[in-house]
């Protein structure tokens, strides 16, 4: 459907159409459409701009990725549909591997995502070779299946997907960097570095932070950053309640 330009939510509705077209091309799951909607709500609350606390987290993430021995970017259909170029750029600049890992598991969809990423310029995408399958201990969902050369072997992980397995991956000794618009979610609270931002905006900033990063040291307190994020959202609400 064509959104009338007069609609006050024109921009947001057009991004929505992008994810719908990802669905039409077999990359995005139905449940992925819902997840995107959840993201829209939180983005609305943070004011649809990158918060100060997110910039701090992005800088810490850049240094962590650049100093990792074996970093892996784990992607799902939504992120592949929204910013394939950025995934590839980030992988290149941080020498990370890319692995496809889906909560709503589907081999056909997985293959379509791999193809989509390769069309966008990715050289190697892990996650579809059954002989490389390994399991994460401590979770039930189909996402426990990981690639022995990818997530299984990684020291630093950046899962660009809804997470129910951050704790299990941490138990396996990995450092977790995550994008999560909900600072209260289990994933946000469990990760080592949580970037509370829209993944499209945040990925671009992360790429440019990786380009600029000079130091190899990082001092970052995720609990503090999350508290700041919540505080910024509260202040936004306060300001808007006053304007209302």
Please, which residue, 32 or 84, has the CB nearer to a copy of itself?
Answer: 32
Cα 10 to Cα 21: distance, rounded to the nearest angstrom: 16
44 with 182: CB under 8 angstroms? no
Confirm or reject binding of residue 170 to a copy of itself (CB under 8 A): no
Confirm or reject binding of residue 16 to a copy of itself (CB under 8 A): yes
194 with 176: CB under 8 angstroms? no
Residue showing tokens 């290149």: 92
Q: Which one of 85, 92, 164, 204 is in contact with a copy of itself (CB under 8 A)?
A: 164
User: Which residues between 179 and 238 bind a copy of itself (CB under 8 A)?
Assistant: 182-184, 186, 189, 223, 226-227, 230-231, 233-234, 237-238
**Minimum gap (Å) between residue 161 Cβ and a copy of itself:** 14
Secondary structure string (H, E, C) spanning the chain = CCCCCCCCCHHHHHHHHHHHHHHHCCCCCHHHHHHHHHHHHHHHHHCCCCCHHHHHHHHHHHHHHHCCCCEEEEECHHHHHHCHHHHHHHHHHHCCEEEECCCCCCHHHHHHHHHHHHHCCCCCCECCCHHHEEECCCCCCHHHEEECCCHHHCCEEEEECCCCCHHHHHHCCCEEEEECCCCCCHHHHHCCEEECCCHHHHHHHHHHHHHHCCCCCCCCCHHHHHHHHHHHHHHHHHHHHHHC
Number of residues that bind a copy of itself (CB under 8 A): 48
Q: Which one of 27, 40, 125, 176 is in contact with a copy of itself (CB under 8 A)?
A: 40
**Minimum gap (Å) between residue 12 Cβ and a copy of itself:** 10
Q: Which one of 18, 26, 92, 104 is in contact with a copy of itself (CB under 8 A)?
A: 104
**Minimum gap (Å) between residue 142 Cβ and a copy of itself:** 8
Please, which residue, 49 or 148, has the CB nearer to a copy of itself?
Answer: 49
**Minimum gap (Å) between residue 94 Cβ and a copy of itself:** 29
Q: In the stretch 137-156, what mask flags binding to a copy of itself with x, by CB under 8 A?
A: --xxxx--------------
Residue showing tokens 């946000």: 188
Q: Which one of 35, 73, 158, 203 is in contact with a copy of itself (CB under 8 A)?
A: 35
Task: Tell me which residues touch a copy of itself (CB under 8 A).
Answer: 1, 4, 6-9, 16, 19-20, 23, 30-31, 33-42, 44-45, 104-105, 139-142, 164, 182-184, 186, 189, 223, 226-227, 230-231, 233-234, 237-238, 240-241, 244
């Amino acid at each position: 459907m064509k959104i009338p330009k007069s609609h006050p939510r024109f921009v947001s509705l057009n991004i929505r159409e992008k994810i719908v077209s990802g669905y039409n091309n077999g990359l995005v799951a139905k449940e992925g459409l819902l997840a995107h909607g959840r993201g829209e709500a939180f983005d609305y609350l943070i004011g649809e701009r990158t918060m100060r606390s997110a910039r701090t987290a992005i800088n810490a993430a850049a240094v962590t990725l650049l100093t990792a021995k074996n970093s892996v970017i784990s992607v799902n259909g939504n992120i592949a549909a929204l910013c394939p170029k950025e995934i590839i750029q980030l992988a290149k600049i941080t020498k990370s591997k890319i692995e496809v890992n889906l909560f709503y598991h589907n081999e056909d969809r997985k293959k379509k995502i791999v193809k989509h990423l390769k069309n966008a310029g990715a050289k190697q995408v892990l996650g579809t070779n059954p002989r490389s399958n390994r399991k994460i201990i401590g979770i039930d969902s189909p996402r426990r299946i990981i690639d022995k050369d990818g997530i299984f072997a990684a020291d630093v992980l950046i899962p660009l997907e809804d997470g129910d397995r951050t704790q299990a991956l941490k138990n396996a000794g990995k450092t977790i960097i995550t994008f999560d618009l909900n600072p209260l979610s289990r994933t946000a609270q469990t990760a080592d570095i949580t970037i509370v931002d829209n993944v499209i905006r945040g990925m671009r900033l992360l790429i440019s932070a990786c380009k600029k990063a000079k130091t190899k040291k990082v001092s970052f307190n995720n609990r503090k950053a999350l508290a700041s994020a919540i505080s910024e959202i509260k202040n936004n609400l306060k300001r808007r309640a006053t304007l209302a």
